[in-house]
């Protein structure tokens, strides 16, 4: 699949079949995440592949509703899909001077969220290009997930996704027009 086709065609998938995901397919998707760029190539990202259904249910139990009174449908999907992927990051790597005692290089502190997002974007686009579905899940109790999966001190759980074969083909969500988000020369500046 051509890159722009994958970018435009990917959707958040919240309904899945229970069809198995082959190891080879899974490895290709994880390899895409591995190839993502990172701060000074520090590669803070770690991925936990969760196949066990009891664990997947426990992960779903940590979800926080994004609309009050409604279940977090992305997180609920992890009860169905054969695989869930949990993205973690080693802290104090991205955005830090490389030699200790090095503090953060910029006013943003730790750039781990940025690095994980880049890797997850590679992962979700590759999954889509291979006919699989994903949905970024951010609304959950990351501390509880760290406990469930034995994530050690110094690492943060950032995001999760179910991974499986879609049982829906959602319409694209609306996006702002380019002229609402792109400026020229100055914030708010229009193309001359
Ligand atoms: C950082 C982040 C966190 C998200 N968290 C959730 C979530 O907890 N549950 C969920 O169902 N969808 C979640 N989403 C999916 C968004 O709702 C979805 O990407 C957005 O509505 C656009 O739809 P699309 O992905 O189909 O283009 C999240 C997306 C991002 C980027």
CATH at residue 128: 3.40.109.10
Q: Which atom of ligand 1 is nearest to the CA of 75?
A: 9
Q: How far is the CA of 134 from the centre of ligand 1 (A)?
A: 10
User: Which of 6, 67, 123, 135 best tests ligand 1's pocket when mutated (most atoms within 8 Å of CB)?
Assistant: 135
pLDDT of 191 strictly over 90: no
Mean of per-residue pLDDT scores for the chain: 96
> What pLDDT is stored for residue 38 in this prediction?
98
Indicate if the pLDDT at residue 99 is higher than 80: no
**For residue 192, what pLDDT band results from cuts at 50, 70 and 90?**
confident
Q: For the chain, where are the alpha helices, taking DSSP H only?
A: 3-9, 23-34, 53-61, 73-76, 112-129, 142-149, 178-181
Pocket of ligand 1 (CB under 6 A): 11-12, 14, 66, 72-75, 135-139, 173
Domain total for the chain? 1
Residue 79 counted as domain residue: yes
84 lies in a domain?
yes
What range does the domain containing 64 cover?
A: 3-181
Q: Is 13 inside any structural domain?
A: yes
Residue 22 lies in a domain: yes
Rounded to 10 degrees, the C-alpha dihedral 48/137/65/19 comes to: -80
Residue of 44, 32, 39 lying closest to 161 (CA atoms): 32
Evaluate whether residue 189 is within a structural domain: no
Token pair belonging to 54: 């009891």
Q: 23: which 2 tokens?
A: 């190891």
Q: Is residue 192 part of a domain?
A: no
Task: Judge whether 169 lies within some domain.
Answer: yes
Q: Give the position, in ligand 1's atom list, of the atom nearest the Cα of 140.
A: 8
54 domain residue, yes or no:
yes
CA of 183 to the centre of ligand 1 (A): 25
Query: pLDDT at position 188, please?
Result: 95
163 vs 166: CA distance, rounded Å = 9
Q: Name which residue sits closest to atom 17 of ligand 1, judged by CA.
A: 12
Which pTM was predicted?
0.97
Cα-to-centroid distance, 98 and ligand 1 (Å): 33
């Amino acid at each position: 699949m051509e890159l722009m086709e994958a970018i435009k065609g990917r959707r958040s998938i919240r309904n899945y079949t229970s069809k198995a995901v082959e190891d080879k397919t899974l490895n290709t998707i994880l390899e895409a995440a591995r190839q993502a760029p990172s701060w000074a190539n520090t590669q803070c990202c770690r991925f936990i592949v969760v196949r066990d259904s009891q664990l997947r249910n426990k992960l779903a139990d940590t979800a926080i509703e994004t609309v009050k009174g409604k279940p977090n449908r992305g997180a609920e999907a992890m009860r169905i899909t054969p695989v869930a992927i949990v993205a973690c990051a080693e802290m104090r790597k991205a955005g830090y001077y490389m030699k200790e005692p090095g503090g953060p290089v910029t006013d943003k502190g730790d750039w781990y969220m940025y690095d994980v997002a880049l890797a997850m974007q590679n992962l979700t686009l590759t999954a889509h290009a291979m006919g699989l579905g994903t949905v970024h899940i951010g609304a959950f109790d990351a501390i509880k997930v760290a406990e469930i999966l034995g994530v050690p001190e110094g690492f943060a759980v950032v995001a999760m996704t179910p991974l499986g074969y879609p049982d829906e083909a959602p319409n694209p969500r609306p996006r702002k027009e380019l002229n609402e988000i792109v400026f020229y020369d100055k914030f708010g500046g229009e193309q001359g």
